[in-house]
Structure 1
Amino acid sequence: MMDVTAIPTVPLQSDGAGIVILLVYLAIIVVSIAGMWKTFEKAGQPGWASIIPILNIYYMLKIADRDAWWLILFFIPVISLIPAIIVPIDMAKNFGKGTGFGLGLAFLPFIFYPLLGFGDANYNGHGPAGGAGAGASGTQF
């Protein structure tokens, strides 16, 4: 028969660090979602679409002035990395930001979407909120 007292036990008490980490993590998630929501609304798209998988990519393509068939590229392994970088760069450019900001959207979205959504950037693309955007004069760069 096995001695029960020889089984190591794990204490059920915590110093509270786990709860603090959980709260910080949840705060980052909420701020990220709110930033993407505001970014979509600034571009004249429905904010709620930012939290629905696949649909949010479709609206990102619209904000970036890319054709809808680019959505297919996101489902091809390895190839999906290319539009996952190009689309945020195009989104940033349509908000008057540079390539560096677009790379920030691609690699650090929890920082850069709130900056874009809550910042003073205005959407200048061809979408419904774009008004006289880059293509209004017939010239595209």
Structure 2
Amino acid sequence: MNWTLEVVILPVSDIDRAKEFYTERLGFVLDHDSHFGDAGRVVQVTPPGSGCSVVFGSGPGLPEMEPGSIKGVQLVVNDIRAAHAELTARGVDVSPVQIAAPEGFRSAEESDTELNNVGFVSFADPDGNEWAVQEISGRP
């Protein structure tokens, strides 16, 4: 039996601001923006190439969580430096490329060419939900 992760729910304080950030800044695909009158609104976006979507909104069916309380959601790319450049070009406040080393995280140097599994950047959405991006360019 396959168990697939399909949706991550993010708590946000402003649905329109979150929609703009995730679609315009991050380049996520807008799957739907559903309005349910006074009952609420649900927006679903999906990172390019992902089988898992992100949902935010208000109303029945969405858990009540403090905006910005989600930490550690992780995306994977095959080139962390290219991802950093793209996020920077889109106006996202993204950390420098970091390397996860045995002694902890350190800044990546130009001479660090092997970033598979150890290269990371991080950013937060406008509410403070925190994301990590990891380079995985090959899997065993």
Larger proportion of strand: 2
TM-score range, shorter chain: under 0.3
Asked which structure has the greater CA Rg, the reply is 1
Q: So what's the TM-score if we normalise by structure 1?
A: 0.26
Q: So what's the TM-score if we normalise by structure 2?
A: 0.26
